[in-house]
Amino acid sequence: MAYKPQYYPGNTSVAKNRRKHMSNDVEKMRDISDEDLTAILGHRAPGSDYPSTHPPLAEIGEPECSVREVVTPTPGAAAGDRIRYSQFSDSMYNAPSVPYWRSYHAAINFRGVDPGTLSGRQVNEMRERDMEEYTKRQAETEMTDWGLAGLRGCTVHGHSLRLQEDGVMFDMLDRRRLEGGVMVMDKDQVGVPIDRKVNLGKPMSESEAAKRTTFYRVDNVAFRSDKEVVEHVQKVWELRTKYGFVPQA
Amino acid sequence: MAKTASATGKQIQIKIFPQRLLQPRTAEKLLNEIDQVKGVVRMLIGGKNLPRKVTCGPGTGADVNHPNMEIIHVGDCAFELHVMVGEIIVELDNESGKEELRNACERTLPFSFEFKQGHFIKKKATLTDYGKYGFKSKTDESINLEDERILGLIDPHAKPENNLCVINPEGEK
């Protein structure tokens, strides 16, 4: 039987969702075209070529190196793309992804990633075309509910705030909003207006968000209700502490 | 010298903290309901800032045009919201208006809210206020303000005309 890694312990819905995110076994929920995605990322004009920071690797000729022979460059690295970023904010009111799980998802399932994890947001730097592929995966699947999360390059405030009356996470720069029952984004991730209204689909209902979330909350699935997870976390902390006292180990 | 108005006395302060951030229409409705409550001395609106322009990042300087930055009418006053209303602190003349205030919130808010009594707005002048307004005169060391109720309602460096609204100044509250 082929080995199938189990990424996270626990039997609650939150633990199961966390495993799903880590293994990239996530449900696709909406379509966002490449052009729309490029527009909301705001790094280059939709339809334009990828600017490069160095010539393609095939042209510059790499030195002899056994590691380079083993590791195939990502499409972005092979083409010499610039390093660009995308950043998501997630509401603590049952957003589908915890910033840590966006990082796990990126680091486990994509190559050439540089994830930065903060309490309420997660930024990821990659070669431009690789970053677009990664962002598209997160934006189109159940990892993102555009009502409870947002693509925010700056002014990310919203994660720990109460939701708005319409159930949407507050956005100071009004990049995306609820219009006619669907989330619409007419600015890029840093708040500069774009020439289109990108339809990001329907936001999840409260009950659906509670079902798909990876946040432990006492008013939904409490962290302490998952004994296996608590045990695992305690074991990790115990080993880390012991290791700290035995540096030669 | 007799004081014309003062915030000191037996007033009580209530903080109303809704479960959700209020849209302008709901905030307007709630503020008008509160304005109808007998004995309201002053109200302080707090919430999440709505900037006019992007202040950081590559988009610095771009207009935000936030749809919630609306002009709302409270009593005989109209003003533009600079925040998404998240809390309202109300000062009442005395305890008797408390239940009426709670009922006004229950009528207006479609979700639950916290209703706390405490000390949220300052009631007497501090050093910063004396620095801003000074003494009345060499012989009178009380603060040089005709209406002490504005103390604690605005930041020391903010302009009152953009942040302060006097509703029904002639009427008895």
Tens of pLDDT, residues A104-113? 999 999 999 9
Do residue B22 and residue A191 have CB atoms under 8 angstroms apart? no
Out of A12-16, A62-66, A67-71, B123-127, least confident range: B123-127
Structure tokens at A197: 């209204």
Q: Residue A193: beta bridge partners?
A: A187
Mean of pLDDT values over B123-128: 88
Question: Shortest Cα distance from A137 to chain B (angstroms)?
Answer: 25
Do residue A191 and residue B20 have CB atoms under 8 angstroms apart? no
Out of B33-42, B87-96, B133-142, B148-157, least confident range: B148-157
Mean of pLDDT values over B49-74: 93
What pLDDT, on the 0 to 100 scale, is given for residue A193?
Answer: 95
Mean of pLDDT values over A115-136: 96
Task: Indicate if the alpha-carbon torsion angle A18, A19, A22, A25 is positive or negative.
Answer: negative
What pLDDT, on the 0 to 100 scale, is given for residue A234?
Answer: 96
What pLDDT, on the 0 to 100 scale, is given for residue B173?
Answer: 45
Instruction: Specify the higher pLDDT residue, B169 or A3.
Output: A3
Mean of pLDDT values over B94-106: 95
How would residue B1 be classed by pLDDT, with cut points 50, 70 and 90? very low
Out of A18-27, B61-70, B130-139, B153-162, least confident range: B153-162
The minimal CB distance from B23 to the residues A162, A164, A191 is found for A164
Burial of B18 (0-12, 13-18, 19+ CB in 10 A): buried
What pLDDT, on the 0 to 100 scale, is given for residue B3?
Answer: 46
Question: Which of B54, B63, B108 is best to mutate for the A interface (most A CBs within 10 A)?
Answer: B54
The minimal CB distance from B62 to the residues A163, A170, A191 is found for A191
Mean pLDDT of chain B: 88
Instruction: Specify the higher pLDDT residue, A125 or B146.
Output: A125
* Residue B110 φ then ψ, to 5°: -80, 5
How would residue A153 be classed by pLDDT, with cut points 50, 70 and 90? very high
Do residue A191 and residue B57 have CB atoms under 8 angstroms apart? yes
Q: Do residues A37 and A194 touch, judged by C-beta distance below 8 A? A: no
Predicted confidence (pLDDT) at residue B34 exceeds the cutoff of 50: yes
Within an 8 Å CB–CB cutoff, is residue B48 touching chain A?
yes
- The DSSP line for A111-170 is SS-EEEE-SSEEEEEEEHHHHHHHHHHHHHBTT--TTTEEE-SS----TTSPPBTTSPPP
Mean of pLDDT values over A54-67: 93
Q: Do residues A158 and A120 touch, judged by C-beta distance below 8 A? A: yes
Instruction: Specify the higher pLDDT residue, B173 or A30.
Output: A30
Taking contacts as CB-CB distances below 8 angstroms, the residues of chain B near A172 are 48-51, 64, 66
Residue recorded with tokens 């229950």: B106
What pLDDT, on the 0 to 100 scale, is given for residue B170?
Answer: 60
Predicted confidence (pLDDT) at residue B171 exceeds the cutoff of 70: no
